[in-house]
Amino acid sequence: MTDLNSIHQPVLLDECVRLVSPALDHANAVVVDCTLGLAGHAIAVLRSAPQAHLIGIDRDEEALRLAGERMRREGLSDRFTPVHAAFDELEDVLGGEGIKEIDAAFMDLGLSSLQIDETERGFSYAHDAPLDMRMDTGQTLTAADILSSYSMQRLTTIFREYGEERFSRPIARAIVDSRESAPLRTSKDLNELVDATVPKAHRPAGNPAKRVFQALRIEVNGELEKLSQTLPQIAAHLKLHGRIVVESYHSLEDRTVKRFMTAGTRVNVPPGLPIIPKEAQPYFKDLTHGAVMADEAQIADNPRSASVRLRAVELIRRIPEQTLRQYEEDRKGRG
């Protein structure tokens, strides 16, 4: 059982609130927390924006329950709507609430305290637990399923692309070779297999299985696909001068966010064009000028903040219809 009094402060909380709040300084403002978790960001945002209403989305029903309890304790529940969904279902969520436009949205893509602290969920390589890793326990696919059924080539690709693991192929081969006689059921099983496979002279700092666990979590939950589907949905429903704020924790997430935001901050014309058409002018303003990172004091207080990259943009003009159509075509293509 999670102790609500012992929940750690979210990473870069003050910076996140500072970036979100200016878009919420008016009556009936609407902000979406796409990764509600235990509502650390959500509570801070509502405190800083007393006129705003927050929609909190999470795939984890236990997180939603605990977030609701925290909101009641803080006296904020009348300005809070919890929704059980994946964040790439944002459009459906807004439609269900009768909302066409929002003033801001933010995402904290790291694991929540709930997922880290409840060891039976199998997210952490530091505790022996079943290889589950589902953020939404209602879905069927688990990490153990992936390890027992995916081909060696597919496992290699996942470990290489999602974990940036140098020894992806040997690890995948070892998994396939071992699973008939000794299927991997727990985090200890996977730790031991990776430990026996990765040469000691080439191990990164910390647990050698760290990147494999990361890759499995991303695959189980479809994290990168959902992120690339969600960012255009946010942009399409953003009011003028609305803001998007995203905290990423590994390079693949940050690359996806950076690519999306940068596309909207650039002039989309051939070099040397004397007059820039309105539809080719930037529609995003870069609010962070690159990525904001935790300083030494923040890292010392919370080591999990060492890898965070915080990016934010403001919508400074309407997104061209052609770009919105491309968003929709890309979403349908992926679907």
Instruction: Write down the mean pLDDT value for the chain.
Output: 89
Residue 245 confidence (pLDDT): 98
Q: Is 177 annotated as a binding-site member?
A: no
Residue 256 confidence (pLDDT): 95
Q: Is 39 annotated as a binding-site member?
A: yes
Options 1.10.10.10, 3.40.50.150, 3.40.50.2000, 3.20.19.10; which CATH number does 4-115+223-334 get? 3.40.50.150
Residue 225 confidence (pLDDT): 92
User: Quick check: 164 pLDDT over 60?
Assistant: yes
Q: Is 40 annotated as a binding-site member?
A: yes
User: Quick check: 304 pLDDT over 80?
Assistant: no
Q: Is 58 annotated as a binding-site member?
A: yes
Residue 256 near residue 224, CB atoms below 8 Å: yes
pLDDT higher for 7 or 96? 96
Q: Is 117 annotated as a binding-site member?
A: no
CA–CA separation, 159 and 152 (whole Å): 11
| pLDDT single digits (tens) 125-158 | 667 889 999 888 888 999 999 999 999 999 999 9
Residue 144 confidence (pLDDT): 94
pLDDT higher for 242 or 272? 242
Give the position of tokens 């039976």. 120
How many Å separate Cα 147 from the centre of its chain? 23
* pLDDT classification of 329: cutoffs 50, 70, 90: confident
* pTM for this prediction: 0.86
Q: Is 87 annotated as a binding-site member?
A: yes
User: Quick check: 1 pLDDT over 60?
Assistant: no
CATH 3.40.50.150-classified regions of the chain: 4-115+223-334
User: Quick check: 38 pLDDT over 70?
Assistant: yes
Q: Is 115 annotated as a binding-site member?
A: yes
CA–CA separation, 142 and 42 (whole Å): 29
Mean local confidence (pLDDT), 65-71: 96
Residue 112 confidence (pLDDT): 55
Give just the sign of the alpha carbon dihedral 161, 61, 52, 95: positive
Residue 302 confidence (pLDDT): 81
| pLDDT single digits (tens) 190-229 | 999 999 999 988 777 778 888 999 999 999 999 899 999 9
Three-state DSSP state, 58: strand
| Nearest Cα to Cα of residue 64 among 136, 140, 142 | 136
User: Quick check: 113 pLDDT over 90?
Assistant: no
Residue 322 near residue 263, CB atoms below 8 Å: no
Supply the DSSP string of 10-41, one letter for each residue: PTTHHHHHHHHGGGG-STTEEEEETT-TTSHH
| Nearest Cα to Cα of residue 3 among 66, 75, 68 | 66
Question: Order of strands, edge to edge, in the sheet holding 52-58?
Answer: 80-84, 52-58, 29-33, 102-108, 238-248, 309-315, 284-286
Residue 323 confidence (pLDDT): 87
Supply the DSSP string of 97-148, one letter for each residue: TT---EEEEEEE-SPPHHHHH-GGG---TTS--BS---SSTTS---HHHHHH
Residue 180 confidence (pLDDT): 83
Residue 42 confidence (pLDDT): 97
Q: What is the DSSP letter of 316?
A: -
CATH 1.10.150.170-classified regions of the chain: 120-221
| Nearest Cα to Cα of residue 276 among 288, 268, 285, 284 | 268
**120-221 in CATH: which number?**
1.10.150.170
